[in-house]
Structure 1
Amino acid sequence: MWIKKAEITSFGKWRQQTFLFEAKNQLVYGLNEAGKSTLYQFIQAILFGFPAKRKKGQDYTPNDGSGFGGRLLLVHPTYGTVTIERYKAKNKGKAKVWMEDGQQGEEELLEKILYPLNQQLFRQVFTFQQEQLQQLDALSEENLHEALISLGLSGSNELFEQRLQLKNMFEAIYRPRGRKQPLNQALQKYQALQQKIKEKEAQEAGFQQLVRQADEEKRQVTQQATKNRNLQERQLGLEQQRMNWSAYAEYLELKKMELQLSASESEQAELQAFYQEYQQLMKEQEKLHAALQQHSGNQESARYYFYLENEQKIQQIVAEKVTITRMLDEEQRIAVKLAQVSEVPTNWEQNLPKPFADEQEIQKLFAPLQVQQKALEEQQIRLRLVKEQRDQAEASLNDYEQKHPELFNRKKNPPWLLIGAAVGLIVAFLLPAPLRYVLVVAAVACGIGGVLKQSKPANKDTWQEKLGQLDVYEGQVAEMTEKAAKSQRNVQRLFDQLQNELRRRNLADAENEFAVVQDNQRAQNYLAQLKTNKELQQRQSILRQNLMQQEERFGFLTEWLPLHEKNLSEKFAVLEQFVKEMEQIRFAQTYQENTVLQQRIHEAQKHQQQLLTQYHPLMEKVHLAYPSEIPAFLQRESEVVQKQGRLRELTKSVAPLFKEETTLAEIEEGLRILQQEIQAGEAQLQQLQEQEQRTRLQIQQMQADGTLDSLYQQISQQQALVENLTTDYALAKLENQLLQDIATELSEQQLPELLKQATSYFQELTNNAHSRLDFSEGLLTVDQMSIYNLSTGTKDQVMMAFRFAYLALQQKHPLCPVIIDDGWLHYDHQRKYQFAKLLQHFSENYQVICLSSDQEMVSYYQELHQPVWELKGVQR
């Protein structure tokens, strides 16, 4: 690919300028500030985008507001002629592309055309600048060799720079014999902390034993608390059994009964129909027999005429006797149930309780209080322990002060024994021999006594230490007393809130969760009983209304029948007797002759016998001998159905409370025993909690200086630091090794051809002054001489040779023109001429754009018949 034309609308100092380029070699000449670098920056900006503004960098934005940008015309081996347009103010600075075949696109198409060329390759591989030479000049000998090989292998020294950067990075983190590197220092500090911890743990040999003991005591506390909770749950279960004992007794009674129906519903209906028909036949026979005995005078009685007038109403009342009787029985049962009311608090009768939905709500209500109570108990236990330690410290101090009263004697007693010993020795020298020896012995004895007395003075440091320890305990007592008082206030506040909630729900005041659970259960049972009673009362009210309506139907009979002060059952009996008498009169009136009556009686008896024969198998099945037993049988069947329903109800509500059959006495005894066990369990729990707190307090006192905890925290932080630094070191070293392996692989593949091509270019640049470039044992030599000892210009020529050698190896796929900007400042006239010849030969495969302000270079280009054009420059 090569650049054919550059059209600058406005860029730096250029305005409305067009530059035409040759496909091969050319020199763009211009004095300083003529705009050579501006032209280079324009080409780069159109290809890869406008650079971001920098404070120190040169800004090419025009000040006159003209269009910042322009066009480039490229000739591509695949896409043909390509026009690229880019303006800062248009399309957000993105490029527009037109191809020879009419295809258009933007940034994505441009990247596709240029690929794999990017801005980094453009700057480092295809651009030759003086700064690159200066960077190589500053390298050490070893690094210079590696940089030149990197130039030859990748076209730039980026591979070398990356390796050098990574090497500096991991060596800055750690060196095997280093001291100042972060990882070296971190490891030393980590080892020192390990040693300190080992020494501290050795000093506190019993610490771990105390920790294990505290953990075991905590386990025992948890186990005892669970045991106490289970006992309370058992107590609650027994309380519920005691509250529901009457229902359970009824359940047991029903369970013992044989509640099996002797007849199905259809069979009961058949028996009911048979009995009614049989009774009608019996009544008819009674009427017929009575009619034989009646006199005709009774047929005209007023009562008979009254009966005839109201016969239909009377028969309707009589026909409903069975229904009314059942209603009376049901009303009586309801009255009995309503009378069976258990004792309840009087305040519930005035204001209904509002129990909790379940036990979890009660636990949630008590949870904050229990947490605070537990904290208060722990603080009180700690306070007692600290007070014990304070009392012990105070007793020890008092004992020490009693043994050393001189602590409070401001006047220091003179050492009389020592003074006496000294005087005795002096006087002994003045006395004769026998007395002298006696006095010397006495003086020695006094001296020994004085020394012994002076060797055991009161140790003020010990006394002050005991005072300080007592002050520490006093401070701890004051602090923990304040904390306990604060916790007590919190407990009282939470307790008041709990009691207010219980009062709002109209439940009894209680100090523990179990009592609230019991009272809540009673409240739930009471509300359930109220609901049941309400339903029973509603049913009772309906029954009573119906029964009152039935009694009102007897009103028209009061003048003819003795119904006054009789209940409904008695009224039915009187009415049935009245109907019986009136029917006898009817028969007597209808059948006057005895023969007719007797014939009618015979027919009734015959029909009755037929009924008995027809229903005899059914009666025999249900074990009935006489039809008169049917009403009692049906009544028993009805009671069995009711008891079955009651048994199902009790099985669902009461039976689950009783896993095993028991008695009320056993329940009472179980509650008494459980209460004792709960009290003993609470005492045991408190004792275990206190013992655990004692152990925890000892642990805290051993950790009072905080040394071990602080060391644990420090070594944990230091370990994290070592791990992070080790990770950074390993990553940097691994990346460096990977790049080295890549360079080695490239060297094995390309280095022979690279050295051959570089030698050819180097010979041309030096006009055969040097004959050979070699690479052995990691060192690059020129005619077996180290390149580090070469002159600056010769080293520049070596660098040029390697860069051109790399590009020559890629000449089958030239990605971009080679742009050279004053890269020969260290060259003499001969070297410049050789360099110009090299560019002439090299341009056979690459477009070369040489930017120079060197007039001597212009003459060499003209001598070699290479194109030269001059930049005149314009004023902004």
Structure 2
Amino acid sequence: MRIKTLDVVGFGHFSNQVFYLDEESQLIYGENEAGKSTLYQFVRAILFGFAKKREKMRDFEPRNGDAFGGSIVFHDDVYGDVKVARFKNKNRGEAVVTLENGEVGNDYLLEKIISPLTKDVFDQIFSFQQEQLIDLADLDEAKLQHLLLTVGLTGSEQLNDVSQKFLKERQQIYKPSGRVPSLNQQLHKLQQLEEKINQAENEEINYQAYLAERQTLQNQLDELKQQQAELDLKQKRYTQQQKRYTQYAEWAKLNQLLEKDTIVTDEVLKETQETFQEYRFLENKEKKLLEQHRELASLNSPAFQFYVDEQRELESIQAKQLDVERLTQQIKVKKQLLQSNVEQQSNLLKMHELKSIETSTEDLEKVVAAIKTLSEEEEELVRDKIVLDNEISRVALRRKEIDRELTLLERELKTQEKIMERMQMKQSNSLNIPFAIIGVAFALAIVAGISSVTWLFLVVAVLVALGGGLLWRTTKEQQRQKAHPQLDFSQHKQEYSMQLAASDEIEGEYAHLQNEKKSLETKLGVINEQKDTWSKVYGLNPKESLSNWLTKLPAYYQIMALKEKHGQLREEMKILKEEEVVFQEALLFAKEWLPLQGKTTQEGYELLTQFIKEQQKVREETQYMEQEQASVPLQLTRVRQDLTQLETHLLSLTNQSFFRSDDIVRFIDGQTEKRQEEEELKNLTLRLEDYFSLDRPYQLSDINQQLIQVNEESERILSEQEEAQARIQKLSFDIAQLEQNGILDDLYQTRANEVTVIRQLADEWLGYKLAEDTLQAVFDYLSEQQLPAVLKMTSDYFNIFTAGRYPQVVLKDGRLQVQDKKYQYWDMTQLSTGTKDQLYIAFRLGFIQLHSEDYDAPIIIDDGWLHFDSGRKEIFFNVMIALGKNRQIICLSSDEEMKSYFEKNGVGVIQLEGRK
């Protein structure tokens, strides 16, 4: 891109002016305020748009009412001559682009033509401002090196500016040795707050010690609770083992028996049972056939005859069987209610740890009322005792502190007395020297008077003046020293007297508090004696408070109600028993035919019903048995033959030598029992395996001993828990008293707020630090990729600018240095201001040359040779002319010498007139 024409319609103080620029190198010359920077801003506005209000730039809108804007004509290698016109009040400030072929477009077309050139790239890479050169003089070595490398790698100072901005923002938040940054101030405030908190905590008597002791006791209490929980599990396990030891003994016995006995297969046992069942059937059939012969003769048996004679009476008694069943059920229910009543009484006594006593409601109410009265008194006395103990502790600490201060004052008084004695001796000795000098003067005066030696009078005068001066000075010093020790001694004596008075007062207060404590303990002792009396009667724990007793004593009301209900149930049971006796006596007339001994009333009536049914059956079967009597012998023969065959088969199944029915029964019962025992063993195993390790033996005595040990340990831990809980309650009360003033709570809240602010500032600081690190990472990446080529281009330009004095720019040991013709290396700070400017421009031009294929934009230099002498300016001019062969160079300057170079070499110069 090469700018050919600037048509300024209205911009700043320019109005309807056209400037034609050389396509290679061009100087726009003018005095200060002539409009050089205005033309630069005009080019910038036409190419990239007018500045927004938020950009806070100078307002170039014309005051004479001309249209704000104008046009630029530039040549592009692809599109040819391109005209860009832009007016702020037309088309919303958008550009009108006209190509050489007549095509018209807007900002989108303009961006396409000049891409990748943007406003930021134009400002930061292709424009040189003298302000940038002025800033170089204020940079230290490290910042100057970083700036030059940034310019060389990115073509502008933007990366360095952003990095410096992040650093500045971060340092405004925090500096390691700073005081003004906000985070430093917050940390200082937090430190002061911590000191206040420490001071407040130290002022609270034993506050931290109480907290630590309470926490320790709480930890101990938690540990004791954990131990108690473990003991409860052991106690539960041992108790379950104790309850289930009978089952365990049964399991052990079954296990031992089953290990010895032999069990046949299920198939053999089933066949034996079926065969023996068939045998029994035939055996019973044989008996029935034999009995049939005898039954004909026993048709008129005494039992049957008794039934026939007393049939009406027997059936009358049998009709009362339902009443007997109802009565039996009522008796059973009453027994269950009586048992439940007794269990409820026992559970209440056990739950509240009370004794079973006989008392009336009136007596119990009197005791409860007395306990309520004493409970309030006991709570008030305990509360007063805690407060009194705290006050005694405070007075005791004050008493100890006063004793320590008295001891220190006594030592100080003794020390002051010794100092005053030494000072008096020293004062007496210090007066001897002046008097001795005066004495010598008088002696010399006498000698002078006798000998008439005049110069001796001069010596006498000198000695007298010297002695008098020493005497006056010594006297003043003694007076000054004498006044201060006496004053200090008097002050210490006065403080000692005040401390003695305070000691007497605190002793009196301490004795008074001790007397109050004894009085409270006496009153509590009377209450405890009464508690001991009640605890023996009612089984209450004397260590518990009376308020806890009041929660347990109401259980006696429930117990007395249960006892009253128990009496009512017993009376009802007595009536039912008397009614049962009447039913029992009704059966006695048939006791010869009914086995009533050991039977209940209901069972007796069931036997009567069975007797009646049997006799009725006898009456029905008599006729049938008479008809069957003839076939009995033949049936007996067949049955006995079948019995013989079954006996042989049963002997083979049971592996026995002789057949006996009882042996077969015992065999079947034994095998069945063993199977039942095996099933029972399985059931017992399932019930016991959660409580016993069945792979080892147990003894009931061992279980009982372990349970006793666990109970003792549990009682010990419960006692320690009660002590720890009581101590925690006392400490909590003390801590609450200390925290009533609320100072620590306010300080803690303030500290929490300050910490929140510090965290927010720290997060903000870390954000800027992370941004810095990211930029540094970008810079490091660019260094790795482009630094060698940039240094090569920079070295070429710098060699030309310095007329071969510094042929090379290098990065040595991480530091940017220049090498002279003698191969010596120079740091940046060792270079002159003009040489630094040359190096800066060399880096800028090196970057542009390195990226010449990417960007084709004119270079605009605004007095970039500010610190150059004549030689440097001439070299700079020659370089600009050489660069202009490939890229348009536009120089803005008010330098007469630079103007002369342009004019002398026939390079275009545009003369700007100042404002009129």
Task: Give the TM-score, by structure 1 length.
Answer: 0.46
